[in-house]
């Protein structure tokens, strides 16, 4: 293709209607995956492997700070400004437990090019080295406006994570994750634990950027109807060509399997007037294989559906019938090196933990003997196949999801970016396997006989938040008492300076650096081409539309409601809502749910 790149592999992936290629930029070592197709909603993403070593939130703080101005775009907040004059269909950045990704999407060519430029300049040449205030603003800083004030912490990520740590569901998810993989980067909190964030120094923060934000550690994706050669040439000339390949140690290690399940009880804060009875979370989680097994991965999404999500699903139903909890949730967490499967009971009590575990075990054991109802399995398989084919992510571009799915294998095996885009064959295999005892064997192996598991109980405690705040306040009071008058003046001065920096408007030159779309960049024509055909079946009029739908037929039946009296009209919506969710002459409501999902998209 182009001299600056080595082509590693090339293939057609019919599942996502794309020509896929994997390349390496020879000089910098950057890996680039291309998905070329006719989708106008183009996506660009650059991601880095960013495994944290502690819970100071350094990966998360870097994500925030690189977006606070760069070499070519020295504004304080280029993305807020950019968003005002952009036609982007997606513009965001996300920190995960082992990676940080920067995706953008747009249907407009000029806009897309501008967004790529601003993002690449941000990640490779951020102003964080020139201006420590960016770190202090986004990460953490001491705050004190006058000498008589108490010393406090402030910072965008610091405050964000205080919020995140107050939701019990989040506390539970983090606890499960950290306890299943204690010896790996997954054992710490990539977003940052508010108690640890203030331990991060400016130098450590810069070191993290220096180490991981290099093309040799990056993963670039381009998706859509694009001139790929032109984009590759520009990437090389504008950014990648300036870097030489370096070794970057960012590999995510496997957790050594446990010899037996770990059992942890933790507390979470509730308000004084919130109940502590019937407010405990009971959970059991199992590590299931690794990222490389796409068949196993989909199998467990289907098992979650069959065992826990569907109405009347056996594990959920048994737990609800026992009366030990009011709600049951299943979760299959993929997108990490080693995925895991969780069963969570809400509104329960700690004393029922053994019953909770016993009911799960009994129900699963019975299922391995009696067999999972086939209808439920086919329904689960079809449910996921339909969603994969339809790729309808509401207002989000589907290319964004394809690109994010690629990281699920690519991050751990750089030669395999496309594994999770090839699901249709997986569904075909699973339909065959559903005829055997394949799923029952999976339950036996991964849920009943799997020692790499964690039982995490989350118990409510009144006053816990106040205790934590008091601990922080004590620590800060001690810190203040240890400061010399000069050090105190310094903090007061820094507080003022940060405020001044935040309040000062960007200079006109900085504002001018940002690309804005011109009217001529925007096409005057819309391009939705519908050609409706009208036909009749008996008395009924059918409007027929040919459209690219990936093998899915859409049928909408409309009933004339002219005869419904005015006072009953409000109930039509209610009727529409309950039909399909209640039993019928032929099926119970659980059976009907499977019938619907086994042959339609629901
Ligand atoms: Zn954030």
pLDDT digits (tens, 9 = 90+) for 226-268: 999 999 999 999 999 999 999 999 999 999 999 999 999 999 9
Q: Give the pLDDT mean for 498-506.
A: 94
Residue scoring higher pLDDT (172 or 580): 172
| C-alpha span between 336 and 348 (Å, rounded) | 29
- 528 pLDDT tier (thresholds 50, 70, 90): low
Say if residue 530's pLDDT is above 80: no
- Give the tens place of pLDDT for each residue, 337-387: 999 999 999 999 999 999 999 999 999 999 999 999 999 999 999 999 999
Annotated catalytic sites, by residue?
Answer: 63, 138
For 503-527, give the secondary structure using H, E and C. HCCCCHHHHHCCCCCCHHHCCCCCC
H/E stretch holding 342: strand 340-348
Residues 462/322, Cβ–Cβ less than 8 Å:
no
- Name which of 407-416, 477-486, 551-560 the model is least confident about: 551-560
Q: Give the pLDDT mean for 594-602.
A: 85
- Give the tens place of pLDDT for each residue, 516-527: 888 888 888 776
How many whole angstroms from 546 Cα to the centroid of ligand 1? 43
Q: Which CATH number fits domain 5-249: 3.40.1350.10, 3.10.129.10, 3.30.830.10, 3.20.20.110?
A: 3.30.830.10
**How high is the mean pLDDT of the chain?**
94
Give the model's pLDDT for residue 153: 97
Residue scoring higher pLDDT (84 or 261): 261
The H-assigned helical ranges of 271-390 are 294-304, 314-322, 353-370, 374-390
3-class DSSP state of 279: coil
DSSP classification of residue 70:
B
Give the model's pLDDT for residue 546: 75
- Name which of 28-42, 200-214, 265-279 the model is least confident about: 265-279
* CATH superfamily assigned to domain 262-462: Metalloenzyme, LuxS/M16 peptidase-like (3.30.830.10)
| C-alpha span between 159 and 290 (Å, rounded) | 34
Phi, psi of 429, deg, nearest 5: -60, -40
| C-alpha span between 82 and 91 (Å, rounded) | 10
Please report, in angstroms and rounded to a whole number, the separation of the first and last CA atoms in the chain. Answer: 44
Say if residue 529's pLDDT is above 70: no
How many whole angstroms from 472 Cα to the centroid of ligand 1? 21
Q: Give the pLDDT mean for 432-437.
A: 97
How many whole angstroms from 170 Cα to the centroid of ligand 1? 15
Give the model's pLDDT for residue 566: 92
How many whole angstroms from 494 Cα to the centroid of ligand 1? 23
**Residue limits of CATH 3.30.830.10 in the chain:** 5-249, 262-462
Q: Which of 23, 147, 176 is nearest to 484 (CA)?
A: 147
Say if residue 188's pLDDT is above 80: yes
Per the listing, tokens 């005002």 go with: 84
Within 13 Å, how many C-alpha atoms sit on residue 434's CB side? Answer: 24
Say if residue 602's pLDDT is above 80: no
Reading the block at residue 234, the tokens are 């520009």
Q: Give the pLDDT mean for 51-56.
A: 97
How many whole angstroms from 193 Cα to the centroid of ligand 1? 12
- Name which of 418-422, 493-497, 559-563 the model is least confident about: 559-563
How many whole angstroms from 60 Cα to the centroid of ligand 1? 6
Give the list of residues 6+ apart from residue 118 with CB closer than 8 angstroms, or none: 70, 73, 78, 79, 82, 514, 515
Reading the block at residue 132, the tokens are 């420590």
Q: Which of 212, 233, 242 is nearest to 113 (CA)?
A: 233
For 156-279, where are the E strands, in sequence order?
Answer: 218-224, 262-270
- Give the tens place of pLDDT for each residue, 260-304: 999 999 999 998 889 999 999 999 999 999 999 999 999 999 999
Say if residue 567's pLDDT is above 80: yes
Query: What residues have a C-beta under 5 A from ligand 1, the ion?
Result: 160
Give 156: exposed, middle or buried? Use CB within 10 Å, 0-12, 13-18, 19+: middle
3-class DSSP state of 460: strand
Residues 353/282, Cβ–Cβ less than 8 Å:
yes
- Name which of 204-213, 445-454, 542-551 the model is least confident about: 542-551
| C-alpha span between 455 and 344 (Å, rounded) | 10
Residues 9/21, Cβ–Cβ less than 8 Å:
yes
Residue-wise DSSP of 36-50: E-S-SSEEEEEEEE-
pLDDT above 90 covers a percentage of the chain that reads 81
Reading the block at residue 257, the tokens are 């399997």
Say if residue 1's pLDDT is above 60: no
pLDDT above 70 covers a percentage of the chain that reads 99
Say if residue 7's pLDDT is above 70: yes
């Amino acid at each position: 293709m182009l001299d600056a790149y080595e082509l590693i592999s090339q293939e057609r992936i019919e599942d996502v209607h794309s020509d896929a290629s994997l390349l390496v930029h020879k000089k910098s070592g950057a890996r680039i995956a291309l998905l070329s197709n006719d989708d106008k909603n183009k996506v660009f993403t650059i991601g880095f492997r960013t495994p944290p070593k502690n819970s100071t939130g350094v990966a998360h703080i870097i994500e925030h700070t690189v977006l606070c101005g760069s070499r070519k775009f020295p504004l304080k907040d280029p993305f807020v400004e950019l968003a005002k004059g952009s036609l982007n269909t997606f513009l965001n950045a996300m920190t995960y437990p082992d990676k940080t990704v920067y995706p953008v999407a747009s249907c407009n060519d000029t806009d897309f090019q501008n967004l790529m430029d601003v993002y690449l300049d941000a990640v490779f040449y951020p102003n964080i080295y020139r201006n420590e205030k960016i770190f202090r603003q986004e990460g953490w800083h001491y705050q004190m406006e006058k000498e008589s004030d108490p010393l406090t912490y402030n910072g965008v990520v610091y405050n964000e994570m205080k919020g995140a740590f107050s939701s019990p569901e989040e506390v539970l998810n983090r606890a499960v994750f950290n306890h299943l993989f204690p010896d790996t980067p997954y054992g710490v909190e990539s977003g940052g634990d508010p108690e640890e964030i203030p331990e991060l120094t400016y130098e450590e923060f810069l070191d993290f950027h220096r180490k991981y934000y290099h093309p040799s550690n990056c993963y670039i994706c381009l998706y859509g109807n694009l001139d790929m050669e032109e984009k590759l040439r520009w990437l090389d000339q504008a950014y990648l060509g300036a870097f030489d390949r370096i070794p970057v140690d960012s590999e995510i290690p496997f957790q050594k399997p446990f010899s037996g399940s770990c059992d942890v009880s933790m507390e979470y804060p509730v308000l004084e007037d919130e109940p502590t009875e019937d407010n405990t979370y009971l959970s059991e989680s199992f590590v299931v294989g690794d990222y490389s097994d796409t068949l196993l991965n989909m199998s467990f999404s289907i098992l979650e559906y069959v065992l826990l999500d569907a109405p009347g699903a056996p594990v959920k139903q048994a737990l609800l019938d026992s009366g030990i909890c009011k709600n049951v949730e299943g979760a299959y967490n993929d997108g990490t090196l080693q995925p895991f499967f969780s069963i969570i009971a809400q509104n329960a009590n700690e004393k029922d933990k053994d019953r909770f575990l016993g009911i799960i075990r009994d129900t699963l054991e019975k299922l391995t003997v009696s067999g999972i109802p086939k209808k439920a399995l086919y329904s689960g398989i079809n449910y996921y196949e339909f969603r994969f084919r339809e790729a309808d992510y509401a207002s989000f571009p589907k290319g964004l999801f394809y690109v994010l799915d690629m990281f699920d294998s690519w991050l751990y095996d750089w030669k395999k970016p496309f594994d999770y885009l090839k699901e249709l064959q997986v569904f075909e295999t699973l339909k065959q396997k559903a005829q055997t005892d394949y799923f029952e064997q999976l339950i036996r192996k991964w849920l009943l006989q799997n020692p790499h598991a964690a039982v995490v109980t989350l118990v409510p405690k009144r006053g816990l938040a106040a205790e934590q705040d008091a601990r922080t306040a004590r620590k800060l009071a001690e810190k203040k008492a240890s400061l010399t008058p000069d050090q105190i003046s310094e903090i007061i001065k820094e507080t003022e300076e940060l405020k001044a920096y935040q309040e000062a408007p960007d200079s006109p030159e900085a504002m001018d650096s940002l690309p804005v779309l011109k009217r001529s960049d925007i096409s005057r024509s819309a391009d939705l081409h519908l050609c409706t055909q009208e036909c009749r079946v008996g008395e009924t009029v059918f409007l027929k539309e040919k459209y690219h739908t990936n093998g899915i037929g859409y049928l909408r039946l409309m009933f004339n409601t002219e005869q419904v009296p005015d006072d009953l009209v409000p109930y039509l919506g209610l009727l529409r809502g309950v039909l399909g969710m209640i039993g019928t002459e032929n099926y119970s409501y659980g059976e009907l749910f499977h019938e619907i999902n086994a042959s339609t998209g629901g």
